[in-house]
Structure 1
Amino acid sequence: MIESMVSVTHVSKQYSMITSPAKQLRSLFHPTKKRPTFMALRDVSFDVKRGETVGLIGLNGSGKSTLSNILAGIIQPSHGKVQTGGEVSLLAIGAGLKPTLSGMENIRLKCLMLGYSNAQIAEMIPAITEFADLHDFIDQPIKRYSSGMKARLGFAIAVQINPDILIIDEALSVGDTTFYKKCTDKIEQFQEEGKTIFFVSHALSQVRTMCDRIIWLHYGEVRLDGPAEEVGLEYSKFVHRFNKLSKEEKAEYQQNLKKRQSNTDQLDETDIHKKENKGFRKSSVIYLSILWSFTIFSGILMESTAFFTKLQEIIASIFHFGG
């Protein structure tokens, strides 16, 4: 039996659409009141076996990048569970790179954050810089890099840390054909080594060529999951029909689906752990109340040295009395 490397169980990701901090705070004190939300993913479930290469496709706003970030552990799902059987590396344009640091400093920082020692990093740097092929730009700040250069550096770091699960999110959509060939050769090497790969792209031909299986996300939900050729063909038919719609028809279609993602009434009707939600809101209110009280108290202490000194004396006398 082939081991399951990634298991995603009833995963949903909900974002609050309240932008003002003051409104966020007020909403926590009214847990029964409906709050505007956006459901980026809804009840997504699938298992991926060791050695599989899985494509994630879908129109813009379908949740591909959200799912990638959840798989990589960068963000947590609102509901559901994700289990992975090894080290995960996410490759997206500029992901995890600090704009003010140089390419070399970013290499060191990212590797340190992944738990590598300075000695190990020193051994890895030649291979990373050679693969990225950035020459003198390796010592320039990332903010001066083009999107293609960022992708090259990100890919070089991601593949050299030798992850068990590699997630490639649109990172091969930029750059020249020479670097693209270098990347696809490395992906093929990983496939031969039995690594698990997620490939996110709008380029359906690339996905069908590289992947064994495709998961089609459609506005936060899994619309189809199966062999690459079959799902790729169905998605191609859908895109063909969609592109035949007028501009107004496309806008209406997308607006209706996005409205469903933002419909909190519809969300309440699904099995999304209402009790957990109530408990979370209640604990949030308690936490924020304590935090708010502490902030006020700290402000008073900072404003009044005499008060702070007096408080110390009172505490000392209490302990002295108790002793």
Structure 2
Amino acid sequence: MAWSAETDGGSVMTDPTVVVRDVRVRYHSPSSDAAAMRAVSPATRVFLRATGQQPKVDVDALKGVSLVARAGESIGILGRNGSGKSTLLRIIAGLETPLTGSVMARSTPVLLGVNAALVPDLPGERNVILGCLAMGLSKAQARELLPEVVELAGIGKAIYRPMKTYSSGMASRLRFAIAAAANPDILLIDEALSTGDAAFKERSERKMAELRKAAGTVFIVSHAAQTIEEMCSRAIWLMEGEIIGDGPGPEIAHDYRWWSWNITKNEFAKADEILARCREKWAPREPIIADPELYKRQPRHALNV
């Protein structure tokens, strides 16, 4: 993480784009655990069994996560399935409300995946227009961006076919191209870059470099360490809703890859050593935000309450 200055009280950051403060997210999730069934009242137990339902338990998806992103950063978020990666992106995007904590952003983050605006029965060309309109662009701007979107997605004449005929990879590439073509200040990408070939990978890297050069901030969620290592200047390792480490992309990705390898080999003692070392070396630091304007912003999630 880049910092502008050092003080006795901590590091000072002068150009934050996203500030996440002590965010906690809790879901009520169905559970087949016998202990969960025993924990409910007898009457509830009878009702659940009669209706074929399962009792719900509290699942903490994020446990006091804090981070600060700045202009020009590409931040990878690493972690296994269920670690809280996608939940963190949705919180930053303002699509979910945390149990506690807050999120502030200098501009509206764009979460890759404008699925709500896209219509499978319509051709890709029409869906590009709809996706751009959903991000606040005019119809004229959307039509102007169409050739760029087609080139970035690499789907050629398929742009004139209904989206329901696309493979999952083609659809993911088109969603990325739509979101990136709008040149958002803050772009959130969830696992989309693993769906393309080498040519798409090169085009997407070039596009993200353009966004960063224009002082944009890019978040990339992945469980593939190589993707983060190659594309991100900074990485955050999440495990069970907590940040294990926050540091340079290549170093965090290396630790994560080595930890994963040891887990698959049942070398749990070595894996624990890697975790402890990463926690010690790359523990998140609480910065001093020298940006009064950002504090005037409503928390992202407050806009959706």
Q: How many residues align?
A: 237
Show the counterpart of 1:278. Answer: none
Q: Which runs of 5+ in 1 are unaligned?
A: 27-33, 254-323
Show the counterpart of 1:80. Answer: 101
Show the counterpart of 1:11. Answer: 23
Show the counterpart of 1:292. Answer: none
Q: 1:9 to 1:111 in 2, by over 3 A?
A: same
Residue 92 of structure 1 and its aligned partner are, at CA, apart by: 4.8
Q: 1:117 to 1:44 in 2, by over 3 A?
A: same
Asked which structure has the greater CA Rg, the reply is 1
Show the counterpart of 2:277. Answer: none
Does 1:102 pair with 2:114?
no
Moved more, 208-217 or 130-139: 130-139
Residue 156 of structure 1 and its aligned partner are, at CA, apart by: 1.3
Show the counterpart of 2:285. Answer: none
Residue 186 of structure 1 and its aligned partner are, at CA, apart by: 1.2
Show the counterpart of 2:204. Answer: 183
Residues in 1 aligned to 2:222 and 2:123: alpha-carbon distance in whole angstroms: 28
Residues in 1 aligned to 2:61 and 2:183: alpha-carbon distance in whole angstroms: 30
Show the counterpart of 2:158. Answer: 137
Q: Counting helix residues as a fraction of each chain, which structure ranks higher? A: 1
Higher RCO by CA contacts (8 Å cutoff, separation 6 or greater): 2
Residue 196 of structure 1 and its aligned partner are, at CA, apart by: 0.7
What secondary structure sits across from 1:230 in the alignment? Answer: helix
Q: 1:214 to 1:243 in 2, by over 3 A?
A: same
Residue 107 of structure 1 and its aligned partner are, at CA, apart by: 1.4
Residues in 1 aligned to 2:135 and 2:195: alpha-carbon distance in whole angstroms: 26
Deviation track 1:99-138 (CA, whole Å, cap 9, x = no partner) reads 3332122212222222222222222223222332323321
What secondary structure sits across from 2:149 in the alignment? Answer: helix
Residues in 2 aligned to 1:151 and 1:9: alpha-carbon distance in whole angstroms: 31
Q: 1:132 to 1:205 in 2, by over 3 A?
A: closer
Q: 1:103 to 1:217 in 2, by over 3 A?
A: same
Deviation track 1:35-73 (CA, whole Å, cap 9, x = no partner) reads 622211111111111111111001111011111122122
Show the counterpart of 1:245. Answer: 266
Does 1:170 pair with 2:191?
yes
Residues in 2 aligned to 1:158 and 1:78: alpha-carbon distance in whole angstroms: 29
Match of 2:172 among 129, 145, 151: 151
Does 1:219 pair with 2:231?
no
Show the counterpart of 1:118. Answer: 139
1:197-276 residue pairs with structure 2 within 5 A?
A: 197-245=218-266
Residue 193 of structure 1 and its aligned partner are, at CA, apart by: 2.1
Moved more, 184-193 or 148-157: 184-193
Residue 93 of structure 1 and its aligned partner are, at CA, apart by: 9.5
- Give the TM-score normalised by structure 2: 0.70
Residues in 1 aligned to 2:79 and 2:189: alpha-carbon distance in whole angstroms: 15
- Give the TM-score normalised by structure 1: 0.66
Percent identity, please.
40
Residue 161 of structure 1 and its aligned partner are, at CA, apart by: 0.6
Q: Counting strand residues as a fraction of each chain, which structure ranks higher? A: 2
Show the counterpart of 1:266. Answer: none
Q: Which runs of 5+ in 2 are unaligned?
A: 5-13, 32-43, 48-54, 273-305
What secondary structure sits across from 2:112 in the alignment? Answer: strand
Residue 144 of structure 1 and its aligned partner are, at CA, apart by: 1.5
Residue 201 of structure 1 and its aligned partner are, at CA, apart by: 1.7
Counterpart code for 2:172:
A
Note if contact 2:71-2:215 (Cα within 8 Å) is conserved in structure 1.
yes
Residues in 2 aligned to 1:78 and 1:136: alpha-carbon distance in whole angstroms: 46
Note if contact 1:5-1:86 (Cα within 8 Å) is conserved in structure 2.
yes
